[in-house]
């Protein structure tokens, strides 16, 4: 009996201590999924060589806003807001892809009471046009980008619209964002030279890994297919292995940004995840 009572006491004490820790270091409070457009691809095999050739594919394109007790982090900015006013969308990649937007990022942030100046960190998975379309909306945010990605993008033909007032933090690998282990940028090169993904711990939802474009849709993840336009195939495969290891280690969910089927199951802002 004494043993049982002691065990019960230990459980109660552990619960009290656990609650104490939860209250003191709130960490990530909320994660919002924002609709950052749609990509209509003419031919899926651009992303899955030899598979579904000539078959069109539609991608979701999400941005994610993370509210931490130490600030706000916006992960990716999607297709340019200006596309919302284009009835036929915007054709890119020599006609291979059409961008569309049903609502702007600015309007979605306003709806949840966030002003651009409130965004502490602006982190981009990589510098393709469907991810950096609205970086100029956040002139006072600190940009978290791999140095390798920044140099590559700024030397290329389609320079992202970073503005002079933004502090650019050039990362060289992983980066803990708020110092408490709950939000961590993970270096996953391959799709582009400095591609990165994001690992987030939410109090109720648990661990999430936001893919960026390390992988574009579930079928490619299952078969570990590498898109033909990727910067480095070997690096891509190493990054996919790394993601697989993290999912296993943290029991994390993989949220594949461009997977339309998966995105359809998510709650979008103003709803949020805790
Ligand atoms: Zn993309």
Q: Taking 90 as the threshold, does the pLDDT of residue 120 lie above it?
A: yes
What confidence tier does 2 reach under pLDDT thresholds 50, 70, 90?
low
Give 117 Cα–ligand 1 centroid separation in angstroms.
25
Condensed to tens digits (0 to 9), the pLDDT of residues 145-159 reads: 999 999 999 999 989
Q: Which of 97, 117, 115, 118 is nearest to 106 (CA)?
A: 115
222-226 mean pLDDT: 98
For the chain, percent of residues with pLDDT exceeding 70: 91
Angle (nearest 5°) at CA 150 between 201 and 164: 100
User: pLDDT of 44-54, one tens digit each?
Assistant: 999 999 999 99
Cα(38) to ligand 1 centroid in Å equals 10
Query: What is the distance in A from the centroid of ligand 1 to the CA of 126?
Result: 8
160 CA to centre of ligand 1 in angstroms: 14
The whole-number average pLDDT for the span 174-199 is 98
What is the Cα Rg of the chain in Å? Answer: 20
Sign of CA dihedral 242, 173, 153, 92: positive
Q: Is the pLDDT of residue 128 over 50?
A: yes
Cα 235 to ligand 1 centroid, rounded to whole Å: 17
**What stretches of the chain show up as alpha helix (H) in DSSP?**
2-24, 105-111, 147-154, 218-223, 233-250, 260-263
Q: Check pLDDT > 50 for residue 258.
A: yes
Q: What is the mean pLDDT of the chain?
A: 93
Residue 129 CA to ligand 1 center (angstroms) comes to: 8
Cα–Cα distance for residue pair 236/193, rounded to 1 Å:
10
Could you tell me the pLDDT band of residue 112, with boundaries at 50, 70 and 90?
very high
Q: Is the peptide bond before 235 cis (omega within 30 degrees of 0)?
A: no
Residues with CB under 5 A from ligand 1 (ion): 130, 213
pLDDT given for residue 10 in this prediction: 56
- Convert the pLDDT of each residue in 54-96 to its tens digit: 999 999 999 999 999 999 999 999 999 999 999 999 999 999 9
> How far does residue 245's CA lie from ligand 1's centre (Å)?
23
Report pLDDT for 212.
98
Residue 25 has pLDDT above 80, yes or no: no
Q: What's the gap in Å between 145 CA and the centre of ligand 1?
A: 16
Report CA(223)–ligand 1 centroid distance (Å).
Answer: 19
Confidence of residue 19 (pLDDT cuts 50, 70, 90): very low
Average pLDDT over residues 24-43: 90
Q: pLDDT at position 18, please?
A: 45
When mean pLDDT is compared across 17-26, 199-208, 225-234, the lowest value belongs to: 17-26
Lookup: tokens for 205: 């939802």
pLDDT grade, residue 23 (50/70/90)? Answer: very low
User: Separation of 78 CA from ligand 1 center, angstroms?
Assistant: 8
The pLDDT value given to residue 67: 98
What is the 195 CA–ligand 1 centroid distance (Å)? 11
The answer to whether the CB of 197 falls within 8 A of the CB of 209 is: yes
Dihedral pair phi/psi, residue 180, rounded to 5° = -120, 10
- Above 80 in pLDDT, residue 184? yes
Residue 26 has a pLDDT of: 73
41 CA → ligand 1 middle, Å:
11
Task: Please report the pLDDT score of residue 29 as a whole number.
Answer: 87
Using the 8-state DSSP alphabet, how is residue 45 labeled? G
Distance 236 CA to ligand 1 centre (A): 15
């Amino acid at each position: 009996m004494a043993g049982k009572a002691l065990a019960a006491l230990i459980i109660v004490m552990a619960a009290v201590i656990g609650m104490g820790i939860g209250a003191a270091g709130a960490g990530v409070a909320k994660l919002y999924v924002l609709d950052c457009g749609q990509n209509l691809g003419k031919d899926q095999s651009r992303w899955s060589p030899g598979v579904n050739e000539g078959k069109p594919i539609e991608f979701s394109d999400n941005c994610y806003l993370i509210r931490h007790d130490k600030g706000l982090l916006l992960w990716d900015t999607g297709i340019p807001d200006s596309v919302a006013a284009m009835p036929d969308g915007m054709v890119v990649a020599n006609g291979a892809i059409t961008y569309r937007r049903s609502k702007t990022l600015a309007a979605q942030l306003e709806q949840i009471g966030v002003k651009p100046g409130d965004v502490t960190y602006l982190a981009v998975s990589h510098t393709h046009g469907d991810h950096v379309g609205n970086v100029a909306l956040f002139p006072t945010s600190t940009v978290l980008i791999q140095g390798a990605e920044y140099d590559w993008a700024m030397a290329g033909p389609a320079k992202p619209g970073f503005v002079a007032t933004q502090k650019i933090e050039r990362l060289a690998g992983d980066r803990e964002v708020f110092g408490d282990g709950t939000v961590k940028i993970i270096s996953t090169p391959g799709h582009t030279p400095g591609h990165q993904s994001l690992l987030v711990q939410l109090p109720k939802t648990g661990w999430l890994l936001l893919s960026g474009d390390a992988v574009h849709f579930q079928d490619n993840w299952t078969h570990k297919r590498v898109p033909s336009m990727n910067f480095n195939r070997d690096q891509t495969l190493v990054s996919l292995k790394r993601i697989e290891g993290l999912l296993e280690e943290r029991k994390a969910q993989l949220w594949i940004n461009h997977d339309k089927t998966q995105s359809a199951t998510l709650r979008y802002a103003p709803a949020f995840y805790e």
